[in-house]
Structure 1
Amino acid sequence: MGFNELPYGPSPAVGEALHNAAGRVQSYGSPHCDGLRDAIGASNGIDPEHVICGNGSEELLDVIARVFARPGDEILITEYGYIQFALTANRVGADLVKAPEQDFTTDVDALLSAVTARTRVLFLANPNNPTGTLVDTRELARLADALPPQVLLVLDLAYGEFATPEYCAGVHALVQGRENVVVTRTFSKAYGLAGARVGWCHGPDWMIPLLYAARGMGTVNALAQAAAIAALGDMATVQTRVSEIKAERARMSATMQALGCSVLPSHTNFLLLSPPDQNPDTTEAIVEHVFDTAGIIVNRTREAGLEHFLRVSVSLPAHNDLFLGALEAFLAGASPGTATATGS
């Protein structure tokens, strides 16, 4: 429960698509993901010509950085921004700048104050990883409108499905009529295709050829394309699973808070929590106790300012109960091996 994966296996539609595609595995998939882009466009109400697909959204974040930033340029992120943003800046030799957050949430004014003549890319995960917090689309629009035209705003919507469909539509609408805003998405989270590695980017038409020039040829394999198309054709299953995760997220958060933990409001499929004493050593001990007594891996959050937090992915009810029981046993001072499941 440490990698924000969906706990469900492939839906029957995805399983059938993978089976059928396996019979044609000797052939390359479409290098431009034509069928997948058409399906993405139809599902999201956008022009597929404004979409490029990649080997997970991480490939596309890397491509964007390589196209728009050079050594000596600045890449701007929030204080607790997604770790991949820092890695992309490091790969291209750009200087990473972090703007402070308010209550573990993006502060638009702080971002705008951090923009300089050397700023080239602003990466913003929203909902954010690892905090799970979210900025509404009005604030995002204010940010987009106030940025200088030479700064590219990249809105990473990897966890958007765990907010609302309306929110996702509002974020994509920010691309329309703007030349310096793109949105990145993934099939790894809500669609449960983390092992297939499929992501996509929605951007202005002038930018798509530049991204293709920097992206590898055929990086989304034929099996992954088939699985993603099938998942988009079975949105009822996707929405049912998202609803189940959101219900479990609320239940887990309430239970953790009843145990005295601090839990950040989450719009994702994970929760960021800290123990009652907010002591990083206690957090480390919880991580070890949960693994030793329940066999569950959760994520240590070591970023400066988040050392007292741990991140746990929302899973199936039985898995969540196992984690909550281990947490409850630790906080009660129980000896190892006595953890019991908390009520579902």
Structure 2
Amino acid sequence: MSTDGVTTAKPQSYLTPLVVRGRIERPQPKGLPTVNLGYNELPYGPTPLVAAALDKAAQNVNAYGGATCDALRAALARANGLDADDIICGNGSEELLDVIARNFARAGDEVLISAYGYIQFEMTTRRQGAALVKAPETNFTTDVDAILSAITARTKLIFLANPNNPTGTVLPFSELARLALNTPPHVVLVLDLAYCEFDGFDSAAGVHDLAKAYDNVIVTRTFSKAYGLAGARVGWAQAPRQMLPGFYAARGMASVNALAQAAALASLADIDVVRDRVAALVLERERVAVSLAALGISALPSGTNFLLVSIDGADAEVIEALVVHFFDDAGLIVGRTREAGLETFLRFSLGTPAQNDLLLQSAARFMAAL
């Protein structure tokens, strides 16, 4: 369309946003301080070594960090028994998931995930114009046979998070090994271990061995969860070496900033503090789940730093009322589920013992009035 030769049409995006239910952002009605338990973050500040490293790195903030994160990749290789040349770092593992999708998925291709798989898997698929296929789950847990049955000639990628987000459920290693064995060699299998430390610090070793053994298996990891560096945005992946040139071509130039690299390196050096914090959070996870069950609020089994919970026999309307109650009553922000089929659940990350007590007390008041 034009007027006197001037075009009036507006640019049109090829992408449409994924509509999700947001978190509560209005003022807290009682003036209480708010506690955000909606993002699966660690409730602790930086470890001593991380704080010192950030202070030092800030003195050189005028300089870019190393584009290929050589020092960090070397440290990750030592910590995980890997070869640094098989590792790539990114601006959080989310960047690397996007990089992987851009390398292997296009319009007309299929990307396969579990029914309640991580929402970023869907977002990366939509960006590529590929078709998303969801395999049914069993008891809110990935079903390997369902995944394998859903593979077609168009399947290019399988994304699987273990432990899973948002359900928190965990597949045993034997099932991951069976999936890797039976995935066709032309299909890329991505095993996202963002929460693996909360299922045991040794749980990733066997999965890394799968990536060593198969030319189509990638492992993604992050410093955002167990290491408490969500604000730094640094993740990494172990991938078959022949894939890495394509990954660097798709990844942002020097996308892991200098402060993030310094913080990640320091957190690896401060691993005893990291382990202690994770152990404390796992104890809190069990305590909170048992306490909620006594109130009539059930949590799915979790290998993460969060719980996905429902009220026994309650519908989505009651769950939404509980989400609002937590905020209005105690200043707690929890996560509304965004995945179809999980409308009768809400999710929250474990906080400090005091924060968790606040949640339990608020939950008890809600259930007493229900």
Q: Tell me how far 1:20 sits from its aligned partner.
A: 0.5
How many residue pairs get aligned? The number is 334
Match of 1:44 in 2: 80
Aligned to 1:27: 63
SS at match of 1:165: coil
1:80 corresponds in structure 2 to 116
Q: Contact 2:136/2:146 (CA < 8 Å) preserved in 1?
A: yes
Larger radius of gyration: 2
Q: CA deviation at 1:61?
A: 0.1
Alpha-carbon RMSD: 0.8
Secondary structure at 1:230 match in 2: helix
Extract unaligned runs of 5+ from structure 1: 335-344
Specify which structure has the bigger relative contact order, considering alpha-carbon pairs within 8 angstroms and separated by 6 or more residues: 2
The CA distance in 1 between the partners of 2:340 and 2:239, in whole Å, is 33
Q: How far does residue 278 in structure 1 lie from its aligned partner after superposition?
A: 2.8
The Cα shift of 1:188 comes to: 0.3
Superposition TM-score, scaled by structure 2 size = 0.89
**What residue number does 1:310 align with?**
346
Alignment-mate amino acid for residue 288 of structure 1: V
The equivalent of 2:47 in structure 1 is 11
- Cα distance between partner residues in 2 of 1:82 and 1:196: 21
1:131 aligns with 2:161: no
Q: Distance between the aligned counterparts of 1:239 and 1:304, measured in 2?
A: 35
Percent identity among equivalent residues? Answer: 60
Moved over 4 A (4+): none
Aligned-residue offset at 1:303: 1.6
Separation of aligned partners in 2, 1:47 and 1:28: 25
Letter in 2 for 1:194: A
Shift of 1:134: 0.6
Alignment-derived partner of residue 161 in structure 1: 197
**Deviation per CA, 1:321-341, whole angstroms, max 9, x where unpaired?**
10111111000008xxxxxxx
One-letter amino acid of the counterpart of residue 189, structure 2: L
**Residue 227 of structure 1 corresponds to which residue in structure 2?**
263
| Contact 2:114 2:137 (8 Å CA) reproduced | yes
- 201-210 or 216-225, larger mean C-alpha shift: 201-210
Tell me which moved more, 206-215 or 12-21: 206-215
| Contact residue 289 and residue 298 of structure 2 kept, 8 A | no
Q: 2:143 aligns with which of 91, 98, 107?
A: 107
1:141 corresponds to which letter in structure 2? Answer: A
| CA displacement, residues 226-256 of structure 1 (integer Å, 9 cap, x when unaligned) | 0000000010000000001000000000001
Cα distance, 1:277 vs structure 2: 2.2
Match of 2:228 in 1: 192
Displacement, 1:204?
1.1
Provide the rounded CA distance (Å) in 1 between the counterparts of 2:265 and 2:340: 40
CA distance in 2, matches of 1:171, 1:324: 36
**In 2, Cα distance between equivalents of 1:204 and 1:117:** 22
Matched residue type, 2:234: V
* Secondary structure of residue in 2 paired with 1:332: helix
Which residues of 2 match residues 231-246 of structure 1 at below 5 A? 231-246=267-282
Question: In structure 2, what residue type is equivalent to 1:203?
Answer: A
- Aligned residue in 2 for 1:285: 321
1:165, distance to aligned residue in structure 2 (A):
2.1
| TM-score (norm: length of structure 1) | 0.96
The aligned counterpart of 1:183 is: 219
Q: CA deviation at 1:166?
A: 2.3
Unaligned runs of 5+ in 2: 1-36
